[in-house]
Structure 1
Amino acid sequence: MPTETYGQWMGTPMDERDIDRLLTDTGWGVLSLAQGDEPYSIPVSFGYDGGDVFLALIQDSPENTKFEFVEDGKRARLLVTDVDGRFDWQSIGVTGTVRALARESGDWDHAVETLDDNAWFSTDFQRADGIDEITVWRLAVDEVRGLEVREDEN
């Protein structure tokens, strides 16, 4: 059967402009990582600068599992969705390699500004009590795929 028959259920490819808009406007998603054959997914706040995705991972306790899974140079996938209804949604998968940014690097300030611009992140986190450490990561984008079903098109 033709794919168009199931477009209302499966979605149709998003154009680049809509992908950029959703990544810029949403500011949160689910980051999926793996260690061997053990998967791990976490909700994350992210910033998008039109090319790279920046993630701020906050260490608020020594037992925080996410830091056991995220490693410099490791592949990761970020899932970003906007769901208003069964026939009105958008979903984007961003796949790439994560790299930790050093606070001393010139990239740190750009990443924090990007996070502050369009993520669910505040630069105040850097000074908050109860937060042991903030690590900023760049997800260097290798592949972006977006699907959507818009209610007004059905």
Structure 2
Amino acid sequence: MSIDELREYGLEAMNDREIQQFLSSQKVGVLGLPDADEPYLLPLSFGYDGEERLYFTYLLGSSSRKGTMSEETDTASFLVYKVDTMYNWQSVLLTGALTTVPEAEWDELEDTMSEVWRPDLIETASLSADVELYEFRIREQTGVKHQGLPPGFKAGDDSR
């Protein structure tokens, strides 16, 4: 079924303001990098500038696939979603470009990156690993949400 067909069941498109509010309230998503055979997907925490940029901190090893692929791609995708219940969820898909942020500019992003969620393991490893900061400049964004029961469905109705 298409998104248009799902509207009759309560699916709604999110406008730009709703997408901004949603991204501002979330901390993790999935980065999709193109590969010849299949997409390369990475769960990542992110900082959001409130307008058109996300920021990712990469821990890079001696041969980092994500670092190499991020440098080689012109276009990447990032999916952020939140599911509260099967009838209450939101999803935003972003398409954009990834670039490395020079270390001299990291201090300027301190506020944006201060609320980024990171597992303790990543925090500990970052003390001894190569760290890079990447900017994801949003070119396209789409969002959908479903909040509430579908039309014709009543709470407690288990006949469906």
TM-score, structure 2 as length reference: 0.77
Aligned partner of 1:115 in structure 2 is 113
Deviations 1:35-90 (CA, angstroms, capped at 9, x unpaired): 3343100000111111211111122x435432232116621111000111222110
Is the contact made by 2:77 and 2:94 (CA closer than 8 Å) also made in structure 1? yes
Aligned partner of 2:55 in structure 1 is 54
Aligned partner of 2:16 in structure 1 is 16
| Mean Cα deviation higher: 22-31 or 6-15 | 6-15
- State the shift of 1:101 in Å: 0.6
- Structure 1 128/141 Cα, relative in aligned 2: closer, same or farther at 3 Å? closer
> What pairs with 1:4-153 in structure 2 (closer than 5 Å)?
6-7=6-7, 11-51=11-51, 52-59=53-60, 61-71=61-71, 74-105=74-105, 108-117=106-115, 119-121=116-118, 125=123, 128-129=126-127, 131-151=128-148
Structure 1 alignment gaps of length 5 or more: none
Q: Secondary structure at the match of 1:140?
A: strand
Q: CA RMSD in A?
A: 3.0
Structure 2 alignment gaps of length 5 or more: 152-160
| Mean Cα deviation higher: 3-12 or 75-84 | 3-12
Q: Secondary structure at the match of 1:94?
A: strand
TM-score, structure 1 as length reference: 0.80
Distance 1:38 1:7 in 2: 31
Distance 2:135 2:75 in 1: 11
Distance 2:3 2:41 in 1: 30
Is the contact made by 1:94 and 1:144 (CA closer than 8 Å) also made in structure 2? yes
Distance 1:148 1:24 in 2: 16
Is the contact made by 1:76 and 1:95 (CA closer than 8 Å) also made in structure 2? yes
1:56 aligned partner, one-letter code: T
Is the contact made by 2:14 and 2:144 (CA closer than 8 Å) also made in structure 1? yes
Distance 2:93 2:3 in 1: 20
Q: Secondary structure at the match of 2:111?
A: helix
Distance 1:126 1:101 in 2: 22
Aligned partner of 2:158 in structure 1 is none
Distance 1:4 1:128 in 2: 45
Distance 2:101 2:73 in 1: 12
- State the shift of 1:18 in Å: 1.8
How many residues align structurally? 148
1:53 aligned partner, one-letter code: L
